[in-house]
Structure 1
Amino acid sequence: SQGAPAAVIEVNPAMLYNHVTAGIEFDLVVLTSLRPGQFAGSPTSQQLANLTQNCLKNLKPHGVVLANNDDAHVASFCETLDCPVAAYGLDAGKQVRGKRLDRAGGQQQVLAIAGNLMMPLTLKIPGDHVARAALAALTASWVMDLSIPEAIAAIESLETIPGRMQRVVSAVDVPLFIDQAQTPDRLAVALHALRCHHFGPATVVMDIGNHLPVSWRQRLGEVLSRHSHQVILTASDICPEAAQSLAMDVLGGCNAPERVQVIPDRQAAIHWAVRHTQQGCILLAGCGVNNCVNRDGEEISDESVAKQAISQCNQIPSLPKLSIFPPSSASEFFSR
């Protein structure tokens, strides 16, 4: 109704199961993963394939499937399709491929190969999943016969994605990132990205509110225990008593519970993490761009609290200027 030339819809398995996309015709469908869930009740790979197959019935006659060929389930599924498929990937791409060149300081450089064209692509956001998303965008440009150099320039202009490996630029000595990472798998991906960029030991401030199903809790503890140096568990949308109970479930998956702090107040937890992390990096996970309410009834975000905490830590206390000669007049610090 607003005259937008295009729309991008992110569809999850639950949406496919409930036929949320019924009646919507697609020009492009990007398949990022068909990996089955790790928990009881999660759809199997075959069930995901069936749901996706049903969704592809809405592909327009000229439509194309963009497939992440690095995912074995996606690659296998696409072999059964009778519609056009353009495969991309870092490891097993076909039409569009990426070759890792370098990773440093939170940035990564990939040699993008689209058809017969090769160009370096520099991304300001860490993570293989970010690189694959960039290749998916490049594949869309290649399929639609758009300028590849212009597409690369547009991708490189992206400074940050709010709530997705978002770096707080004011954190210099100890890099600080914000990521949605509400599930164990997504948290593992975020921590893997930080590890690949050699940021050092990670302090994770993880929110474990109402969004965390019982089946995820122990697995979340395993991921935190295996890939982080220090953990602070918070609860932005439940009372402290409930948070303590939920934290015990998460601790059931930790093999080093002594490295875990439970601070239900997320604002206080972020301040604690910033004050007590002298090396490595900090990851604020579980909330992303979502706001929560602090004890004073104010809406806060991870980004605003992190900036406030960093600003307070960076403040240098004012000291009197001392001189080897006695002052000629009384000062506020000394008198004759």
Structure 2
Amino acid sequence: MDVAKRIGSQDVSLRQLFPAARMISTPDMTVRRCSADASDCSPGDVFVAGIDDTPADEAAAEAVAGGAIGIITEQLLPVSVPQCIVADARQAYAHLVSELAGKPSQQMLSIGVAGIDGKTSTTLMVAAALRKSGLRVAYNCDLGRSDGIIQDVPRRRLSDAQDLTDWYADASDSGCQVAVVELSEAMLRSHAADGTSFDIMILSGDSDHAYLKSAQGGSLFNEAISHVRSKGLVILNESNAVAAQAAESSDLSILTYGTSQEADVVGRIMERHAGETTFLITAGDTTAAVRSRMTGDWMFHHQLAAAATALVMDFPLETVAAGLSAMEKIPGRMQRVASYTGPQIVLDDADCPERVMATINTLRKELPRRGKIWCIAACDHRRTATHAANLGYITERCSDHLVLTSGVSGTDEFLSLVHEMLDGVVDPAKPQLIANREAAIQWTINKATPNDLVVILGGWCPDSPRTIRVAIDADTKLAEQALERVEAIDDSEPVILPHPALLASM
């Protein structure tokens, strides 16, 4: 549904909105409704050509046939209606749909989260911390969204300017004071957020290697920062040199978080246990403790980013810490499956070698003595052969037992894909190959001892929040069922307890 049709109140002058544009057959063009889908055009619409892969001339002809009264395009097209020629159609479309909706992102505090990793976790943690502080908060990320009142898991991922503006308009209608949105690489590349201005931009992750290059030649950190208002703020990990360089090249204020005393918000891990981490957050001369059910160094840094964001808004550190402590879990992000007599089970979406290494090394610190790590890794057609080989090398190196199974690609391509991962394995005879994912999870949990830990690494379809959640929930259910079978077997067997005298002498 068009934002203009839903809100339906104001006209937009293209001459005023795009003063550098070239007008053909008209001195100006007034827009009340716009569409980027030629097949959806109705009488009175202005069509924006070049948003999808359809040839612009064919799409424009179809739009005019449907009743379009004008075209916004990057090139002169053979149609009879007036045209507005712009340098970038996607960028123009983002600004136009936002303008038609009354710029809803400016009606609340707008927070963007960009970076290589941790965007989803950081988005949800920021929303949780601010809600605990008493604000009505909307969020939108790869695992779901909320307009401040209703939470749902949509069928498609947030990807274009229309979807983003619609969500902001819903959040505004719901009376939200804050909106937090995950900005994917695809959104930044397609200029979907160009019509949105952010008060705060969080650059998540602590990696210091170059973020992917933008179309303009800079990093995508620069692209994300370009959407921040003139008096806005950039929040970043103090160890991320590339993000820091991008932020310093702007005139924006910068707030850092990390483990170094030089950071503005400092974190220090005090204790690690299975399924629980206790750490301190220090800001200025105030310190508060957080007891979190989400473990791992990556999660720790995402929580510091969330704390830094809430502190900027002048909330007490104790309230911020309470909000982080209250967060139970994030699906597929170091997610625990409860077990009383079986092995520990963790589901994590780590898919690159660096994250896999960090995840497994973190979990190893929680293992009891003699405990082993069982790693279930998915063979995936989306990886390049080099990426698959590197992942095979890291999973073999970091785990004690490696099980390779099918993921998004299913069992049909398993043999060809598993060979790509085995190319990076030092001992190809060591991993267990089980094509059926359900059988792989069941077999691994049966083989693992109560002192062991089973980590299921990704393999979930990322097409939309709903497909991701369905896949994560399916694996969680498989793990729970496998544990129930193990515990049922354990309960049916007699247990020989040592005599108290023997215990006293040990």
Instruction: Give the shorter-chain TM-score range.
Output: 0.7 to 0.9
How far apart, CA to CA, are the structure 1 residues paired with 2:217 and 2:292?
A: 31
Closer/same/farther in 2, CA of residues 14 and 211 from structure 1, 3 Å limit: same
Q: Does 1:85 align with 2:258?
A: no
Counterpart for residue 70 of structure 1: 239
Q: Does 1:253 align with 2:397?
A: no
- Structure 1 segments (4+ residues) deviating >6 Å: 45-48
Counterpart for residue 22 of structure 1: 194
Aligned-partner residue type, residue 19 of structure 1 = H
Counterpart for residue 180 of structure 1: 349
Mapped contact 2:222–2:247 kept (Cα < 8 A): no
Query: Between Structure 1 and Structure 2, whose CA radius of gyration is higher?
Result: 2
Closer/same/farther in 2, CA of residues 275 and 99 from structure 1, 3 Å limit: same
How far apart, CA to CA, are the structure 2 residues paired with 1:208 and 1:31?
A: 30
| 1:244 equivalent among 404, 410, 415 | 415
User: 1:19 offset after TM fit, Å?
Assistant: 2.0
Q: Does 1:311 align with 2:495?
A: no
How far apart, CA to CA, are the structure 2 residues paired with 1:253 and 1:156?
A: 40
Closer/same/farther in 2, CA of residues 318 and 53 from structure 1, 3 Å limit: closer
Mean CA deviation greater in 20-29 or 263-272: 20-29
Mapped contact 2:406–2:436 kept (Cα < 8 A): yes
Q: Percent identity?
A: 26
User: 1:226 offset after TM fit, Å?
Assistant: 1.1
Aligned-partner residue type, residue 408 of structure 2 = D
| Secondary structure of 2:429's aligned partner | helix
Counterpart for residue 131 of structure 2: none
User: 1:28 offset after TM fit, Å?
Assistant: 1.2
| 2:470 equivalent among 291, 304, 307 | 291
How far apart, CA to CA, are the structure 2 residues paired with 1:171 and 1:246?
A: 35
Counterpart for residue 301 of structure 1: 474
Q: Does 1:263 align with 2:442?
A: no
User: 1:186 offset after TM fit, Å?
Assistant: 2.5
How far apart, CA to CA, are the structure 2 residues paired with 1:192 and 1:48?
A: 35
Counterpart for residue 328 of structure 1: none
How far apart, CA to CA, are the structure 1 residues paired with 2:457 and 2:190?
A: 28
Mean CA deviation greater in 280-289 or 151-160: 280-289
User: 1:76 offset after TM fit, Å?
Assistant: 3.7
| Secondary structure of 1:160's aligned partner | coil
Mean CA deviation greater in 303-312 or 252-261: 252-261
Counterpart for residue 202 of structure 1: 373
Mean CA deviation greater in 202-211 or 221-230: 202-211
How far apart, CA to CA, are the structure 2 residues paired with 1:92 and 1:208?
A: 41
Counterpart for residue 32 of structure 1: 204
User: 1:82 offset after TM fit, Å?
Assistant: 1.8
Mean CA deviation greater in 27-36 or 300-309: 27-36
Q: Does 1:282 align with 2:445?
A: no
Counterpart for residue 157 of structure 1: 326
| Secondary structure of 2:395's aligned partner | helix
Structure 2: 5+ residue stretches without partners: 1-169, 461-467, 495-506
Mean CA deviation greater in 102-111 or 125-134: 102-111
Deviations 1:298-327 (A, max 9, x none): x9711000000000110046589xxxxxxx
Normalization by structure 2: what TM-score?
0.57
Mapped contact 1:203–1:282 kept (Cα < 8 A): yes
Closer/same/farther in 2, CA of residues 243 and 255 from structure 1, 3 Å limit: same
Q: Does 1:9 align with 2:181?
A: yes
Name the Cα RMSD after superposition: 2.7
Structure 1: 5+ residue stretches without partners: 293-298, 321-336
Which aligned pairs between 1:226-241 and structure 2 lie closer than 5 A?
A: 226-241=397-412
| 1:43 equivalent among 196, 212, 231 | 212
How far apart, CA to CA, are the structure 2 residues paired with 1:259 and 1:71?
A: 37
Mean CA deviation greater in 183-192 or 127-136: 183-192
User: 1:217 offset after TM fit, Å?
Assistant: 0.6
Deviations 1:55-75 (A, max 9, x none): 222212342111111223333
Aligned-partner residue type, residue 233 of structure 2 = V
Closer/same/farther in 2, CA of residues 195 and 93 from structure 1, 3 Å limit: farther
Deviations 1:271-305 (A, max 9, x none): 0010011142100111465435xxxxxx9711000
Which aligned pairs between 1:47-126 and structure 2 lie closer than 5 A?
A: 50-91=219-260, 94-126=263-295
Closer/same/farther in 2, CA of residues 111 and 246 from structure 1, 3 Å limit: same
For this pair of structures, how many residues does the alignment match? 310
User: 1:179 offset after TM fit, Å?
Assistant: 0.8
Closer/same/farther in 2, CA of residues 5 and 127 from structure 1, 3 Å limit: same
